Amino acid sequence: MSDLPEDLFYTKDHEWVKMNDDGSATVGITQYAQESLGDITFVEFPSAGSRFEAGDTFGVVESVKAASDLYMPISGEVLEVNEAVDSSPELINASPFGEGWLLRVKPDDAAQIETLMNASDYAKLI
């Protein structure tokens, strides 16, 4: 899959993370994940201010085929959820690496990102 954004980090559970210039991190699910799920109909989000450790379940994404847990790729505090996806979950299908992002997080330790896969390692996984 050569269409994976190179500036993102990936998990084995098919979430992605992008470090932002302000020190926050944006989290979403990958193209592979949304294609596997099919048409996404609902996302259960955590509240802003919630704290999660890396690997914790932070929500659920539901599709016409299945429901799948969402796993926090890095430890931190939820700063914001994507309200556009809350009202239009199909944005994840249309733009998983863009408008379909899920959360913005304040990482406890930005160096934790180094434990995740880069695009070429994730491509090998899928």
Domain assignment present for residue 58? The answer is yes
Please give the span between the terminal C-alpha atoms of the chain, in angstroms, as a whole number: 8
Domain assignment present for residue 1? The answer is no
Residues of the domain holding 52: 9-115
pTM: 0.95
Q: What's the mean pLDDT when you consider all of the chain?
A: 96
Domain assignment present for residue 126? The answer is no
Local confidence band at 2 (pLDDT 50, 70, 90 cut-offs): low
Q: Can you tell me the mean pLDDT for 64-84?
A: 96
Ordered DSSP codes for the chain: -TTS-TT-EE-TTSEEEEE-TTS-EEEEE-HHHHHHH-SEEEEEPPPTT-EE-TT-EEEEEEESS-EEEEE-SS-EEEEEE-HHHHH-TTHHHH-TTTTT--EEEEES-GGGGGGSB-HHHHHHH-
Local confidence band at 3 (pLDDT 50, 70, 90 cut-offs): confident
Domain assignment present for residue 93? The answer is yes
* Amino acid making up residue 16: W
Specify the number of domains making up the chain: 1
- CATH number, domain containing residue 24: 2.40.50.100
Q: Can you tell me the mean pLDDT for 22-32?
A: 97
Residue 85, pLDDT > 70, answer yes
Q: What is the pLDDT of residues 41-63, one digit of tens each?
A: 999 999 999 999 999 999 999 99
User: Percentage of the chain surpassing pLDDT 70?
Assistant: 98
